[in-house]
Amino acid sequence: MDFNYSPSENDFRMELRTWLANTLPKGWGETVFEPEDEHERAMFRLDWERKLHAGGWSGINWPKEYGGRGATLIERGIFAEEMARASAPEGINIIGHNLAGTTILAHGTEAQKKRFLPPIISSDEIWCQGFSEPNAGSDLASVRTRAELVGDKFIVNGQKIWTSYAQYAQWCFALVRTNPDVPKHKGLSFLLIDMSSPGITIRPLRQISGESEFNETFFDNVEVPAENIVGDVNEGWKIAMTTLAYERGPEDALGRQVRFKQELDKLVATLCQTMQGGHAAIDNPSIRQRLARAITEIEIVRLNALRSFSLYLDGGDRGADASMTKLYWSHAAQTMYEVAMDALGPLAPLSGNDPAASAMGRFQLSWLQSKAFTIYSGSSEIQRNIIGERVLGLPR
């Protein structure tokens, strides 16, 4: 066990730190922030991802032949720490990087890798995820969107829901039913669908935060070339499990931890400056206890991810540990935002554009957004089933 870094790892850190200092806008995080308008913010994040790519900092852990820099998992950990330290913006092609790219790397053909990976890394193509349906949520394997092979094309009909970033996406990976006459897990396939195909319509869904990040996506006789299948026909469940392992896994958690750590730092700074009845909000003893606990839990999100990395580097397999990672970070982050709201005191309800809102309403928005954490990419109840059955060996 050693948390010291090698000279080359330290060089990596300093190179990134210097690049960030030179590339982020002047006054970033102090006087300059992300745009408030949802669409402008999305475009800002896309622009930031392209800057990362231009600087050689996109998809760093991917193999060099597909445009990555072949970074180690340790360097990935350093990357996350430095992004947190610089309060760097989020990206918008998270689904492309973390899910589509990793799944294609694991199960795609060489032709698929050459076709799809470079534009993910350059953020020329943004991806969305077509898994959930109105009647297939926690019971994902019961998806009903049909894909029939006709000649050299699949004809896709059905509806997906909660498709985040569909409005910005050029591509969608979807879990579809190719055989309705076998047990539900055995009749699924994993297709890559061009979002500009005729027959696709998207309708934004408004979330409890007021934003419309996600959508309903309708497929009406959409033609998908047969070569756009990952894995074999009716082998899609296995492919989807790989996607979910990455969606719930330590790389994803570490990326999120960056954001939570930034928000926590901002919260502490805000509470130092917020006066409540003659003393600063940070001086409230009961808040201090809960804040300390939140700081500990967000740090543990990082440490859990690093421990998983060490496990993988020692040859351990990715598996149900991803459910433990996801269950932990989602609840830790939700709790943190509850603490934030409590700590802000009587003025906590003020949000958005109210001139008296704390930190321009960011905690109120994050608090609302955080309600999704324990639902998406497998609800906490599903994660607990997986942990109980596959990690602890409890009966079904």
Partner 1 sequence: MNFAFDEEQKSLGDTVSRLLADHTALLAPDLSTDAAGPAWDALAELGLFAMMVPEDHGGAGLTTVDLALSVEAMGGALAPLAAIDALLVTDLLVRHGTPSQQQDILPRVAAGELRVAVAIAELGCGDAPEDVAARVSNDRLTGTKMLVREAAQADMFVVVAQSASGPAVFLVPADAQGVSVRLHEDIDPTSAMGEVTFADVALDSAALLGSANPGRAVARLFDGGAALSALLHLGIASRMLATAVDYARTRVQFGQAIGSFQSIKHRCADMAVAVESARSATYYGIWAFSEDAPDRARAVSMAKAYSGEVARHVCNETIQIHGGMGFTWELGLHRFLRRAKVIEHGFGSSTWHNERVLVETLRMQDADLDAKLAAA
CB of 74 to partner 1, least distance (A): 5
For 289-317, give the DSSP string: HHHHHHHHHHHHHHHHHHHHHHHHHTTPP
Which CB atom, from 49 or from 297, has the smaller least distance to partner 1?
297
| Closer Cβ to partner 1, 153 or 293, answer by number | 293
Which residue from 107, 186, 318, 384 is in contact with partner 1, where contact means CB under 8 A? 384
C-beta separation of 50 from 123 below 8 A: yes
Annotated catalytic residue 247: yes
Q: Compute the distance between CA of residue 383 and CA of residue 137 in angstroms, rounded to an integer.
A: 13
Piece of 45-53, 185-193, 243-251, 384-392 that binds partner 1 (CB under 8 A): 384-392
| Smallest separation (angstroms) from partner 1 to the CB of 114 | 33
Residues of span 23-52 touching partner 1 by CB under 8 A: none
Backbone angles phi, psi at 152, to 5 degrees: -105, 25
When the beta carbons of 13 and 115 are compared against partner 1, the nearer one is 13
Q: Of 186, 187, 200, nearest to 155 (Cα)?
A: 200
Residues between 78 and 117 that touch partner 1 (CB under 8 A): 85
The nearest distance, CB 395 to partner 1, in angstroms, is 4
Cα distance between residue 56 and residue 68, in whole Å: 8
Task: Specify the amino acid at residue 57.
Answer: W
- By CB under 8 A, name the one of 43, 46, 74, 368 that touches partner 1: 74
Q: Check residue 327 for interaction with partner 1 (CB under 8 A).
A: yes
The single residue of 82, 247, 263, 297 carrying the catalytic annotation is 247
Task: Please identify, using beta-carbon distances, which residue of 183 and 315 lies nearer to partner 1.
Answer: 315
Backbone angles phi, psi at 72, to 5 degrees: -80, 170
- H-type helices in 24-72, by residue range? 38-54
On whether the CB atoms of residues 106 and 138 are closer than 8 A, the answer is no
What string marks each residue from 287 to 326 as x (binds partner 1 by CB under 8 A) or -? -xx-xxx-xxx-xx--xx-xx-xxx-xx---------x--
Write down the residue that tokens 């498709």 correspond to. Answer: 163
Q: What is the chain's alpha carbon radius of gyration, rounded to the nearest angstrom?
A: 22
- Give the binding-site size for partner 1 (rule: CB under 8 A): 49
Strand 171-177 and strand 127-130: the pairing is parallel
CA-wise closest residue to 194 among 138, 285, 274, 128: 128
Stretch 227-266 residues interacting with partner 1 (CB under 8 A): 265
Task: Please say which residue, 269 or 347, places its beta carbon nearer to partner 1.
Answer: 269
d(CA 209, CA 220): 30
Residue 388 binds to partner 1 (criterion: CB under 8 A): yes
Does 15 bind partner 1 (CB under 8 A)? Our answer is no
Among residues 269, 275, 280, 347, the one that binds partner 1 under rule CB under 8 A: 269
Strand 171-177 with 153-161, pairing? unpaired
CA distance 209 to 368: 5
- Tell me how far, at minimum, the Cβ of 236 lies from partner 1, in Å: 27
Q: Active-site positions?
A: 247
Residues that bind partner 1 (CB under 8 A): 1-5, 9, 74, 77, 85, 265, 268-269, 272, 282, 288-289, 291-293, 295-297, 299-300, 303-304, 306-307, 309-311, 313-314, 324, 327-328, 381, 383-385, 387-389, 391-396
